[in-house]
């Protein structure tokens, strides 16, 4: 798990900072992202051969997010812990999310919001999941930059957990699904 947190995540944060400070151009930022993604795919044979626990997580980016690497990394970390992950991507319509929950019946779903203007979409999605009798019992975790900007979001939204980092969510999930 260290390589995800100490290398990949650190590298991506650094690249983001350099871009914000105008030290690197957008092409370099995209190249760094692509290279990191390529290196991460090399780890797939390892993370997917970890013995399975019989638990699964379904994850998606809420809104039209280009930066979906964080959620994918979260899924990879869960795979490393023996969970099966279903990553359904970014900007998925809410019906598709509820359908995916019904199809895969995951133990936990993780919703990530990076841009603040997508918080409303996320809130609506959670409402829909909770209103559907076939999906309302799934545990919901939320995270991402936009979510972490809002105070007491766990009181505002009908969710089970909000975490700042992937390891935090893994720790919570390991306890919750002992």
**Residues at the contact surface with other proteins, assessed by CB under 8 A:** 26-27, 30, 33-34, 37, 40-41, 44-45, 48-49, 52, 66, 68, 72, 75, 79, 85, 87, 89-90
Nearer to other proteins among residue 118 and residue 159 (C-beta):
118
Cβ at position 55, least distance to other proteins in Å? 15
Nearer to other proteins among residue 13 and residue 66 (C-beta):
66
Nearer to other proteins among residue 44 and residue 137 (C-beta):
44
What is residue 1's three-state secondary structure? Answer: coil
Cβ at position 17, least distance to other proteins in Å? 18
Nearer to other proteins among residue 72 and residue 159 (C-beta):
72
Q: What is the C-alpha R_g of the chain? A: 16
Angle between helices 10-20 and 26-42 (to 10 degrees): 170
In whole angstroms, what is the distance from residue 78 CA to residue 170 CA? 7
* Residue 34 · residue 19 · CB < 8 Å: no
Cβ at position 102, least distance to other proteins in Å? 19
β-bridge partners, 141: 110, 161
Cβ at position 36, least distance to other proteins in Å? 10
Long-range contacts of 4-9 (CB under 8 A, 24+ apart): 4/73, 4/76, 4/77, 4/166, 5/165, 5/166, 5/167, 8/36, 8/39, 8/40, 8/73, 9/70, 9/73
Cβ at position 46, least distance to other proteins in Å? 10
Nearer to other proteins among residue 60 and residue 153 (C-beta):
60
């Amino acid at each position: 798990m260290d390589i995800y947190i100490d290398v990949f995540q650190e590298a991506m944060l650094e690249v983001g900072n350099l871009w914000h400070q105008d030290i690197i151009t957008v092409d370099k930022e995209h190249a760094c992202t692509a290279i990191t993604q390529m290196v991460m795919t090399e780890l797939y044979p390892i993370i997917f051969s970890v013995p399975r626990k019989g638990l699964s997580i379904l994850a998606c980016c809420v809104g039209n997010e280009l930066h979906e690497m964080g959620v994918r990394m979260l899924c990879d970390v869960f795979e490393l812990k023996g969970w099966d992950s279903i990553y359904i991507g970014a900007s998925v319509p809410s019906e598709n999310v509820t359908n995916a929950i019904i199809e895969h019946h995951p133990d936990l779903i993780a919703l990530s919001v990076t841009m603040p203007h997508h918080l409303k979409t996320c809130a609506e999605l959670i409402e829909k999941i909770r209103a559907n009798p076939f999906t309302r019992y799934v545990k919901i975790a939320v995270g991402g930059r936009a979510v972490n900007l809002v105070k007491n979001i766990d009181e505002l939204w009908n969710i089970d957990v909000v975490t700042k980092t992937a390891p935090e969510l893994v720790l919570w999930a390991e306890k919750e699904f002992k």
